Amino acid sequence: MPFRSFLAASICLLICHPGFTQNTTNHPVIGHVDRFEPQLNQLIPDDAQIEVLCSGFDWAEGPVWVPDKSVPSGGFVLFSDIPPNSVMKWQEGVGVSLFMKPSGYTGVADYGREPGSNGLALDASGRLISCEHGDRRISALTPGGGKITLASHWNGKRFNSPNDLAIRDNGDIFFTDPIYGLPQRENDPMRELDFCGVYRLQPDGTVTLQSRQISRPNGIAFSPDQKTLYVANSDGSDPVWRAFPVGDDGELGEPSAFFDASKEPRLNRGGGDGLKVDQQGNVFATGPGGVLVLSPQGKLLGRIVTGERIANVGWGDDGSTLYLTSDMYLCRIRTHTRGAGWGDK
């Protein structure tokens, strides 16, 4: 079903909030771009600005572009606001509204500081796939407007709190499962797994553990040829982005260190969060001070700085606009490149 029809069918989940309205195309700008290497100029224009599209959120995460030919802008952005358990919608010239609440926790008791959804993505059929903290699952929003659970357990034990995801062309969903959504995190009595894993969810519902080597796996994305899976570690004591080879059978091999922030003197110590990859294999990874722009060889080319922590990024528009969820802001920056997979869109 086209996503336009899906949205119409899901209108019961679309709740507008006039207090969030920001129906302007004249957006304020913040921050700057650190240009460490000349190659960055081929990716980000000299005059590129970081625009603030809307603000006032508790902790924005997981931006995803939703194509919609019925609107002048050709689509809109959905993103999570984790503490208030909400998914927000931003559309050019219209502003921001509440798209879905609850987004990640449907219980009746209090569920700590971060109950909502985190990473979001669209699958091949246009369904919104969510990493849910409070309900501790990977879910899909159906064309009828309801949610279904795609995965909530491995080996009979509940996940910690699924964080971010990447979807292969064959429908496999790879996702990370740190402890940040649990009310007491690593010490939470509800915790059933004593590690933080990287998992593969196949279309038939099979869930396999792919790695338990990363202390706090977080952001995750494929290379353009989908033969490499990048995973960020948000643990500042091991601030390494790892590259996993993807076998012909879809299983992950042993990872190698792609980028180690502790060895980069231009960066403060700190781990990573969300990340995306462009068509050329450059990695746009949130990390110390902003969005780190890394070459396919793991060389630091530059950094996009808003002045606030940046949780995640996502390609949108024609694939050349990078949307950033930065603490209380949703921002964007225009680029010379396009996101991996956007050549066919």
pLDDT digits (tens, 9 = 90+) for 87-99: 999 999 999 999 9
How far is CA 121 from each of CA 77, 117, 161, 177, 204, rounded to the nearest angstrom? Answer: 11, 11, 16, 16, 19
The answer to whether 179 and 187 are in contact (CB under 8 A) is no
pLDDT digits (tens, 9 = 90+) for 152-195: 999 999 999 999 999 999 999 999 999 999 999 999 999 999 99
The DSSP call for residue 316 is E
> What pLDDT score was predicted for residue 23?
62
Between 21-30, 123-132, 176-185, the lowest mean confidence (pLDDT) is in 21-30
Residue 9 has pLDDT above 60, yes or no: no
Polymer length in residues for the chain: 345
The answer to whether 173 and 165 are in contact (CB under 8 A) is yes
The answer to whether 3 and 122 are in contact (CB under 8 A) is yes
Neighbour count for residue 145 (Cβ, 10 Å): 16
d(CA 309, CA 288): 8
- Work out the average pLDDT over 18-22: 43
> What pLDDT score was predicted for residue 10?
39
> What pLDDT score was predicted for residue 288?
96
Residue 38 has pLDDT above 80, yes or no: yes
**Which amino acid is located at 175 in the chain?**
F
Q: Which residues pair with 61 in a beta bridge?
A: 80
> What pLDDT score was predicted for residue 19?
38
> What pLDDT score was predicted for residue 12?
34
Residue 343 has pLDDT above 80, yes or no: no
Helices (H), the chain: 3-9
> What pLDDT score was predicted for residue 143?
87
> What pLDDT score was predicted for residue 274?
98
Between 17-31, 99-113, 323-337, the lowest mean confidence (pLDDT) is in 17-31
The pLDDT-based confidence of 1 (bands split at 50, 70, 90) is: very low
User: Taking the CA of residue 61 as centre, how many other CA atoms within 13 Å lie in the half-sphere pointing to its CB?
Assistant: 30
Sequence-separated (6 or more) residues with CB below 8 Å from residue 248: none
> What pLDDT score was predicted for residue 26?
80
Tokens of 196: 């933080």
The pLDDT-based confidence of 345 (bands split at 50, 70, 90) is: low
Residue 15 has pLDDT above 80, yes or no: no
Considering the chain, what percentage of its residues have pLDDT values greater than 70? 92
pLDDT digits (tens, 9 = 90+) for 235-282: 999 999 999 999 999 999 999 999 999 999 999 989 999 999 999 999
Give me the domains of the chain, ranges plus CATH numbers.
3-344 (2.120.10.30)
Instruction: Concatenate the DSSP letters of all residues of 184-206 into one string.
Output: TGGG-TT---SS-EEEEE-TTS-
pTM: 0.92
pLDDT digits (tens, 9 = 90+) for 286-301: 999 999 999 999 999 9
Residue 21 has pLDDT above 90, yes or no: no
pLDDT digits (tens, 9 = 90+) for 309-331: 999 999 999 999 999 999 999 99
What's the chain's average pLDDT?
A: 93
Residue 14 has pLDDT above 50, yes or no: no
> What pLDDT score was predicted for residue 22?
55
